[in-house]
Amino acid sequence: MKKLEIQLKDNSYTIIIEDGLLSHLCFYLEQVYSNKKIFILTDDIVKNLYLDKVINELKKKYEVDYVVVPNGENSKSIMTYTKVCEEFLNKGIRRNDLLLALGGGVIGDLCGFIAGTIYRGIPYVNVPTTLLSQMDSSIGGKTGIDFADRKNILGVFKQPIMVCIDPKTLDTLNDREMNNGMGELIKHGAIGNRALLMKLKDKPKIDETIIYESLSVKKKVVEKDEFDLKERMTLNFGHTFGHAIELKYGYKHGEAVAIGMLMAVRMGMDLKITDSSCYPELKQILQIYHLPIEEYDYREYLKDTVLDKKNIAGIVHFIFLTHLGECKIYPITESQIKERFYECDN
Ligand SMILES: NC(=O)c1ccc[n+]([C@@H]2O[C@H](COP(=O)([O-])OP(=O)(O)OC[C@H]3O[C@@H](n4cnc5c(N)ncnc54)[C@H](O)[C@@H]3O)[C@@H](O)[C@H]2O)c1
Ligand SMILES: [Zn+2]
């Protein structure tokens, strides 16, 4: 069993990582929740795999009800949000009941948003079941839905009262979803833990320790910068280019981040910020997990980054590696980008 304490100004909570945790969820929930009712939100795939197990366990101590949504990103919509709120309200949810997210990042984001808004906020627990949600989205308190063709555009910061991770649930995840999560896990190693990154070269089983180490990288920056104003930007390594690639070619998010990281390394090398050994090493690790390593010219995509949402008042905040396991935030103004990379256009 591994435990992480997330210390925030007003909301601190514990993340428990334990193989087989789903069979003794009550033991942990009782430490943070003393009322009677739990309402679960899950998707159809996770329902078939784990809902009965979770309900049977929770019934030992609580009254349990649930709502199921279709799996996939489309459920992070305003329509699903209103439908689920209506269902929970019809089932009699009250402001001191507990919501429990059982599923991947989609369920975590949607359930967290509902928990943050229904009755102006009720407690929720996250039980993430994909690699991406276990080592990344379950920490940090960002919740929300997609709207007007923009991802995560309606949302709130809402911290769970506990996160319960059972790495055994990864046994049922297909290879593509697993590798998708590996894209972000490799990113955590690249920006903050070289030893973790080196370990990944041996293709270890993704277990309690690896999830713990990956979350620890994110914990450090989230604790310093709860509301994503400064240090937390480092988590965007590979994302500025990655988002552009994801939209244009329809890669999964973690796959696009893999390509985006290589583009950011190339740009960092050209600016003499990134050590040149980073490129082949990172590429080798991405390849091990069948992540795409196609080369795209970062210069072509620089123009898009000027329109990126991270572009605060004409400044683009790039995240560059210095060495593997270390990174820095590097603000570049629009005009510097034009001068440095588009001299021929003028
Ligand atoms: N809040 C944050 O900080 C944050 C960070 C990163 C990503 N996200 C969000 O996370 C979402 C992506 O999360 P995801 O990759 O987990 O996607 P997801 O929730 O869609 O899960 C992927 C697929 O795996 C299935 N699944 C879930 N658990 C399973 C299991 N144990 N076995 C078999 N199948 C299982 C799901 O039904 C789904 O079809 C995106 O919407 C993204 O915006 C949020
Ligand atoms: Zn990401």
Q: What is the CATH number of the domain that holds 53?
A: 3.40.50.1970
From the CA of 256, which ligand is nearest? 2
172, 198, 216 - which closes a domain: 172
Q: Are residues 192 and 105 in the same domain?
A: no
pLDDT at 280: 97
Pocket test for ligand 1, best of 40, 44, 135, 137 (most atoms within 8 A of CB): 137
Sequential pLDDT tens for the chain (346 residues): 999 999 998 889 999 999 999 999 999 999 999 999 999 999 999 999 999 999 999 999 999 999 999 999 999 999 999 999 999 999 999 999 999 999 999 999 999 999 999 999 999 999 999 999 999 999 999 999 999 988 899 999 999 999 999 999 999 999 999 999 999 999 999 999 999 999 999 999 999 999 999 999 999 999 998 888 888 999 999 998 998 898 889 899 999 999 999 999 999 999 999 999 999 999 999 999 999 999 999 988 887 665 555 555 678 889 999 999 999 999 988 777 777 765 544 3
What is the spatial distance between Cα 192 and Cα 180, in angstroms, rounded to a whole number? 19
Q: Are residues 130 and 244 in the same domain?
A: no
How many CB atoms within 10 Å of residue 65? 16
Q: Is 133 in the pocket of ligand 1 (CB under 6 A)?
A: yes
Q: Are residues 336 and 189 in the same domain?
A: yes
- What residue type is 322 in one-letter code? T
From the CA of 188, which ligand is nearest? 2
Could you tell me which of 320, 171, 124 has the C-alpha nearest to residue 240? 320
Strands of the sheet with 124-128, listed across from one edge: 2-6, 13-17, 162-165, 124-128, 98-103, 37-43, 63-69
Q: Are residues 199 and 251 in the same domain?
A: yes
Q: Is 71 in the pocket of ligand 1 (CB under 6 A)?
A: yes
pLDDT at 313: 65
Q: Phi/psi zone of residue 119: left (φ > 0), alpha (ψ -120 to 50 degrees), beta?
A: left
Token pair for 153: 């555009």
From the CA of 106, which ligand is nearest? 1
Check: CB of residue 184 under 8 Å from CB of residue 195. no
Q: Are residues 246 and 310 in the same domain?
A: yes
Q: Are residues 164 and 208 in the same domain?
A: no
Q: Are residues 287 and 305 in the same domain?
A: yes
Query: Residue 284 sits in a domain of what CATH number?
Result: 1.20.1090.10
pLDDT at 53: 98
Q: Are residues 60 and 189 in the same domain?
A: no
pLDDT at 345: 40
CA of 242 to the centre of ligand 2 (A): 9
DSSP secondary structure code for residue 227 in this structure: T
Q: Are residues 186 and 228 in the same domain?
A: yes
What is the spatial distance between Cα 250 and Cα 229, in angstroms, rounded to a whole number? 29
- Quote the domain boundaries for residue 232: 175-345
pLDDT at 346: 37
132, 156, 172 - which closes a domain: 172
Q: Is 129 in the pocket of ligand 1 (CB under 6 A)?
A: yes
Q: Are residues 331 and 225 in the same domain?
A: yes
172, 205, 233 - which closes a domain: 172
pLDDT at 241: 92
If one counts the domains in the chain, the total is 2
Q: Is 77 in the pocket of ligand 1 (CB under 6 A)?
A: no
Burial 138-176 (b: 16+ CB within 10 A, else e): bbbbbbbbbeeeebeebbebbbbbbbbbbbbbbeebeee
- Alpha carbon nearest to ligand 1 atom 5, residue: 137
Q: Is 103 in the pocket of ligand 1 (CB under 6 A)?
A: yes
- Alpha carbon nearest to ligand 1 atom 6, residue: 137
Q: Are residues 162 and 238 in the same domain?
A: no
Q: Are residues 17 and 46 in the same domain?
A: yes
CA of 73 to the centre of ligand 1 (A): 8
